């Protein structure tokens, strides 16, 4: 019995020993696994630390990038025209960030920021516990520096490996930067929703305030936006944003960042948000066609896309004149829409070539095509002065010479091209032929010059036209399409006594530090035409507005110019200048063809001619320009020299003025008869009779149409209109 009892006691004693051995084995295995895990993680972290060390040298560049503001374009009178950046960011320095904003950020994201070196051990333990409990990878352990590392170097992937990478980079960032530098970079870099990057942009977007104007409540609300910027910002979900704000305020009170009184006031505050969200990507604030033209020019000059941010572009455009011109253009179209006018293009530049206003079309939202710089349209009789000036240069004609005004027939070809003129034979002076826009004299002048000589020796070298031309007599009637900006450049030869001035819109480009990257100066091609030839044409163009087809511009001080109208009245022009300014005005019937999916130009009423509609725009804006900037006399009025010119009398004893009256409408703009037109209309006055746009017919001679012209890339065609006059 005693032996059995002893055996049971020994057996009971051995059982706990065996169980303890098993427990020790399990713990040993767990310890080994844990040690192995720590070793693996440690090794992996060491490797990541080395990789992070290699990445840190790029930190300076990343810091510089977030300090770059948007590209801004300004008018000559310092009005903001355009603002663009890939991200809406208002760079700030930590010294300019109010203390309450800094405290709110730390309360929301990292209240132990000043107590760790980039990694918060207590936060990591808290996250590990949460991960084990919820069996998922949860957030919450990231310090402010780790969040910055994620934004600058890694990604938003929720994984253990990414967390280790963030921690490694955060340690390296803390070694390189001070706490103030880290906080500054964070406040500039982080996304707050609604297009706002950085705390200063967020203050502007949500509250329309500068940082130093934010209340405690507003600072707390913004600080928590970074958690879920797209779904929990004040615009997307105000109730949730208020709930998040209150949580931040509670931490601020607990950490003694604010007083109880400040807390109570902030909790009771009802947010006053901006009524309009500012989602800045690329904002054109005025003169949209001009802005796009400038951006394209800058891209060509610098070889970079300034829209990425950091540049300041100083332009020549005057916002007052631009605003006035846009208003007049809309009113012009509105007044003459029953005559088929749907669009107007206009550009005005000063004597140096600086563009003071530009309208590429009346509705940018509807059609972004810039008719001034991209459009190629037939100029009609606005082409005549270029040919006559070439004749003056060659010495084959002078303004006082006589030239036949009777019907011209193409006897060298197949005999089918006829340019109607006077029924009875007779001659007029060249100046009168230009003044009253007669077609047959112009064709004869082109033949004297020789179309091939004009194309090869004058169109590009003298006038700067880049359009490809076929050397035919009908060129003088405007059978070739040209860009309005180039036609303005061509007329500058007459304004500048034989030198050509190229239009431009940019004065200077500055980088983010205010250094001048590029400065633009006037581009003047000297003496492309003799002074005498330019002065002779200047005299003739002065007569056009003093009793010729351009008489509606006669009220503009020291005006010169020429009208132009094409077949079926598809295009109507006035190109003219004073001593100090030059402008081109064009109207058309622009219609979108849904079948062809492109813009087409339809006929307008017979009333819409160069000397009746586009000239009104030219006159009004030029007067406004003279009102704003004055009109200093650069040279004597060319008509003051008229007494020195002998009046030419034709063979049959009739003066050129008499012939012009008899000719009436010879294919060009009809000479204005004061008895029938007692008052000069305004852009607001619709003519009494506005017949529907004709199906056919011409305003000029039956010139053979030019070869078919291809459609422009963006769907704006250059239609093969036959040449007309006017």
Instruction: Give 172's pLDDT tier (boundaries 50, 70, 90).
Output: confident
User: Residues 555, 619: contact at Cβ < 8 Å?
Assistant: yes
Task: Name the DSSP letter for residue 642.
Answer: G
8 A C-beta contact, residue 618 and residue 574: yes
The reported pLDDT for the residue numbered 686 is 43
Quote the pLDDT of residue 444.
94
Instruction: Please give the angle made by the CA atoms of 313, 315 and 319, to the nearest 5 degrees.
Output: 120
* Residue 635, C-beta contacts closer than 8 angstroms, at least 6 positions apart: 497, 579
Q: Which residues pair with 390 in a beta bridge?
A: none
Q: Specify if 686 maps to a domain.
A: no
CATH number of the domain that residue 208 is part of: 1.10.3810.10
Between CA 298 and CA 508 the distance in angstroms is 10
Q: What is the predicted pLDDT for the residue at 691?
A: 32
> Is residue 267 within 8 Å of 249, Cβ to Cβ?
yes
Closest by alpha carbon to 186, among 172, 167, 200?
A: 200
User: Angle 586-592-598 (CA atoms, 0-180°, nearest 5)?
Assistant: 95
Residues 461 and 561 in one domain: yes
Contact between 226 and 218 under an 8 Å Cβ cutoff? The reply is: no
- For 57, other C-beta atoms within 10 Å of its C-beta total 9
Specify whether 515 is located in the same domain as 449: yes
* 289 lies in some domain: no
Q: What is the DSSP letter of 79?
A: -
On whether residue 498 sits in a domain, the answer given is yes
Please compute the mean of the pLDDT values over residues 103-109 and round it to a whole number. 94
**What residues does 357 pair with on adjacent strands?**
348
- Does position 300 have pLDDT exceeding 70, yes or no? yes
Q: Please give the backbone phi and psi of residue 223, each rounded to the nearest 5 degrees, phi first.
A: -60, -30
Average confidence score pLDDT of the chain? 80
The answer to the question of residue 709 being in a domain is: no
How confident is the model over 52-97, as pLDDT tens digits? Answer: 565 676 666 666 667 777 889 999 999 999 988 667 788 889 999 9
> Hunting for tokens 């590029």 — which residue is that?
518
pLDDT digits (tens, 9 = 90+) for 383-413: 999 999 999 999 999 999 999 998 888 765 5
The answer on pLDDT for 200 being more than 80 is yes
Count of beta carbons in the 10 Å neighbourhood of residue 178: 10
Residue 283 lies in a domain: no
The last residue of a domain, from among 663, 683, 705: 663
Rounded to an integer, what distance in angstroms lies between the CA atom of residue 342 and that of residue 340?
6
Q: What dihedral do alpha carbons 236, 237, 243, 248 form, nearest 10°?
A: 0
Q: Which domain holds residue 540?
A: 322-663
Question: Can you name the residues that pair with 404 across neighbouring β-strands?
Answer: 427
3-state secondary structure of 648: coil
Please report the pLDDT score of residue 323 as a whole number. Answer: 97
pLDDT at 601: 92
CATH number of the domain residue 620 falls in: 3.40.710.10
Tokens, residue 288: 């949209």
Residues 356 and 248 in one domain: no
The predicted structure's pLDDT at residue 513? 79
CA-CA distance, 82 to 620, in Å (whole number)? 27
More confident residue, 423 or 475: 475
Least Cα distance to 493 among 359, 387, 566 occurs for 387
Query: 478 with 378: CB under 8 angstroms?
Result: yes
pLDDT of residue 120: 78
CA gap 427, 336 in Å, rounded: 37
Instruction: Taking the CA atoms of 212, 213, 215 and 221 in sequence, report the sign of the dihedral they define.
Output: negative
Alpha helix locations (H) across 546-655? 614-629
Indicate whether 189 belongs to any domain.
Answer: yes
Instruction: Tell me, yes or no, whether 46 and 100 share the same domain.
Output: no
CA angle 368, 517, 358 (to 5 degrees): 25
Do 52 and 100 have their domain in common?
A: no
Taking the alpha carbons of 192, 196, 201, 206 in that order, is the dihedral positive or negative?
negative
**Please, which residues have CB within 8 angstroms of residue 134's CB and are 6 or more apart in sequence?**
none
Residue 511 lies in a domain: yes
> Would you say residue 606 has pLDDT above 50?
yes
Nearest to 361 by CA among 589, 37, 661: 589
Same domain, 517 and 653: yes
**Domain termination residue (choose one: 663, 690, 706):** 663
Q: Where are the alpha helices (DSSP H) in 383-455?
A: 384-394, 430-435, 439-449, 451-454
Count CA atoms within 13 Å of residue 622 on its CB side: 30
Q: What is the pTM of this model?
A: 0.70
* Residues paired with residue 347 on neighbouring β-strands, in sequence order: 358, 584
522 shares its domain with 624: yes
- What pLDDT, on a 0 to 100 scale, did the predictor assign at position 543? 96
Question: How far is Cα 720 from Cα 710, in angstroms, rounded to an integer?
Answer: 9
Q: Are residues 330 and 242 part of one domain?
A: no
- For 102-111, 189-198, 300-309, 322-331, which range has the lowest pLDDT when averaged over its residues? 300-309
pLDDT reported for residue 665: 30
Which stretch of DSSP H or E encloses residue 346?
Answer: strand 343-350
DSSP state of 635: S
User: 454 versus 310: which is more confidently predicted?
Assistant: 454
- Residue 668 · residue 433 · CB < 8 Å: no
Round to whole Å and give the CA distance between 394 and 403: 16
The contacts of residue 355 (CB under 8 Å, 6+ apart) are 290, 316, 317, 347, 348, 349, 503, 504, 505
CA–CA distance, 162 with 156 (Å, rounded to integer)? 8
DSSP 29-44: HHHHHHHHHHHHHHHH
Last residue of a domain, one of 615, 635, 663: 663
Nearest CA to 321 out of 583, 616, 522, 634 is that of 583
The token duo for 251 is 């931490």
For residue 78, being part of any structural domain is answered with: no
User: pLDDT above 70 covers what percent of the chain?
Assistant: 72
Q: What pLDDT band is residue 572 in, cutting at 50, 70 and 90?
A: very high
* Rounded distance between C-alpha atoms, residue 172 and residue 55, angstroms: 9
Check if the beta carbon of residue 102 is closer than 8 Å to that of residue 342. Answer: no
Please work out, in degrees rounded to the nearest 5, the angle formed at the alpha carbon of residue 705 by the alpha carbons of 704 and 707. Answer: 125
Are 543 and 424 contained in the same domain?
A: yes
Domain co-membership, 392 together with 445: yes
| 3-state secondary structure at position 600 | strand
Question: Which segment of 131-140, 156-165, 649-658, 689-698 scores lowest on mean pLDDT?
Answer: 689-698
pLDDT confidence tier of residue 161, bands split at 50, 70 and 90: low
> Whats the size of the chain, residue-wise?
726
Residues 328 and 182 in one domain: no
Round to whole Å and give the CA distance between 271 and 115.
Answer: 33
Tell me how many domains the chain contains. 3
Q: Where are the alpha helices (DSSP H) in 496-586?
A: 531-545
pLDDT-based confidence at residue 276 (cuts at 50, 70, 90): low
Give which of 419, 424, 325 is closest to 381, Cα–Cα.
419
394 with 540, same domain: the answer is: yes
pLDDT higher than threshold 80 for residue 42: no
Residue with tokens 């209150």: 246
Q: Are 243 and 251 in contact (CB under 8 A)?
A: no
Residues 238-275 have pLDDT tens digits of 999 999 999 999 999 999 999 999 999 999 999 998 86
Is the pLDDT at 46 greater than 70? The verdict is no
Question: Contact, 440 vs 725, CB < 8 A?
Answer: no
Regarding beta strands 282-284 and 80-84, do their DSSP bridges make them parallel or antiparallel, or are they unpaired? antiparallel
Which of the pair, 100 or 302, is modelled with greater confidence?
A: 100
């Amino acid at each position: 019995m005693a032996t059995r009892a002893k055996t049971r006691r020994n057996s009971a004693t051995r059982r706990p020993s065996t169980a303890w051995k098993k427990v020790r084995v399990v713990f040993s295995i767990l310890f080994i696994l844990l040690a192995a895990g720590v070793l693996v993680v440690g090794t992996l972290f060491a490797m990541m630390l080395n990789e992070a060390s290699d990445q840190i040298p790029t930190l300076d560049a990343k810091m510089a990038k977030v300090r770059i503001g948007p590209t801004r374009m300004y008018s000559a009178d310092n009005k903001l025209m355009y603002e663009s950046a890939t991200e809406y960011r208002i760079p700030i320095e930590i010294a300019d960030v109010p203390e309450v904003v800094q405290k709110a950020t730390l309360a929301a994201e990292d209240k132990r920021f000043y107590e760790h070196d980039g990694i918060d051990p207590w936060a990591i333990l808290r996250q590990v516990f949460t991960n084990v409990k919820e069996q998922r990878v949860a957030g919450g352990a990231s310090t402010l520096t780790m969040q910055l590392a994620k934004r600058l170097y890694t990604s938003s992937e929720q994984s253990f490996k990414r967390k280790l990478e963030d921690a490694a980079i955060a340690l390296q960032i803390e070694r390189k930067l001070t706490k103030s530098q880290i906080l500054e970079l964070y406040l500039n870099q982080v996304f707050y929703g609604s297009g706002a990057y950085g705390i200063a942009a967020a203050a502007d977007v949500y509250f329309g305030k500068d940082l130093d104007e934010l209340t405690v409540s507003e600072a707390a609300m913004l600080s928590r936006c970074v958690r879920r910027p797209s779904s929990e910002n004040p615009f997307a979900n105000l109730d949730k944003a208020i709930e998040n704000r209150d949580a931040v305020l509670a931490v601020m009170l607990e950490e003694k960042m604010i007083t109880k009184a400040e807390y109570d006031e902030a909790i009771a505050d009802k947010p006053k948000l901006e009524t309009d969200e500012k989602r800045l990507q690329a904002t054109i604030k005025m003169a949209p066609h001009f802005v796009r033209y400038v951006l394209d020019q800058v891209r060509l000059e610098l070889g970079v896309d300034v829209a990425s941010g950091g540049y300041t572009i100083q332009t020549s455009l005057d916002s007052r004149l631009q605003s006035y011109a846009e208003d007049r253009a809309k009113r012009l179209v509105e007044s003459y829409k029953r005559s088929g006018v749907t669009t107007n293009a206009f550009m005005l530049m000063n004597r140096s070539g600086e563009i003071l206003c530009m309208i590429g079309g009346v509705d940018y939202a509807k059609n972004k095509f810039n008719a001034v710089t991209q459009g190629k349209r037939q100029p009609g009789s606005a082409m005549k002065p270029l040919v006559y000036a070439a004749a003056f240069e060659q010495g084959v004609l002078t303004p006082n010479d006589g030239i036949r005004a009777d019907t011209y027939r193409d006897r060298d070809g197949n005999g089918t091209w006829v340019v109607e003129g006077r029924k009875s034979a007779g001659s007029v002076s060249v100046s009168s032929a230009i003044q009253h826009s007669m077609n047959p004299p112009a064709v004869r002048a082109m033949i004297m010059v020789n179309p091939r000589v004009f194309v090869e020796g004058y169109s590009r070298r003298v006038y700067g036209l880049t359009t490809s031309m076929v050397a035919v007599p009908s060129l003088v009637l405007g059978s070739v399409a040209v860009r309005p900006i180039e036609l303005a450049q061509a007329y500058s030869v007459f304004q500048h006594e034989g030198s050509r001035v190229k239009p431009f819109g940019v004065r200077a480009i500055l980088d983010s530090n205010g250094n001048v990257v590029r400065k633009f100066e006037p581009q003047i091609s000297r003496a492309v035409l003799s002074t005498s030839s330019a002065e002779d044409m200047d005299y003739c163009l002065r007569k056009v507005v003093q009793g010729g087809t351009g008489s509606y511009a006669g009220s503009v001080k020291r005006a010169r110019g020429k009208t132009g109208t094409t077949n079926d009245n598809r295009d109507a022009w006035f190109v003219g200048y004073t001593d100090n300014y030059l402008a081109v005005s064009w109207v058309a019937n622009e219609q979108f063809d849904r079948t062809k999916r492109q813009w087409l130009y339809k006929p307008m009423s017979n009333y819409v001619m160069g000397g009746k509609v586009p000239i009104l725009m030219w006159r009004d804006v030029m007067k406004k320009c003279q009102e704003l900037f004055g009109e200093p006399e650069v040279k004597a009025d060319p008509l003051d020299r008229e007494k020195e010119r002998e009046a030419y009398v034709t063979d049959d004893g009739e003066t050129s003025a008499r012939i012009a009256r008899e000719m009436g409408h010879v294919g060009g703009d009809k000479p204005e008869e004061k008895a029938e037109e007692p008052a000069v209309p305004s852009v607001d006055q619709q003519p009494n009779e506005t017949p529907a746009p004709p199906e056919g017919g011409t305003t000029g001679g039956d010139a053979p149409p030019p070869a078919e012209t291809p459609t422009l890339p963006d769907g704006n065609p250059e239609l093969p209109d036959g040449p007309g006059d006017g």
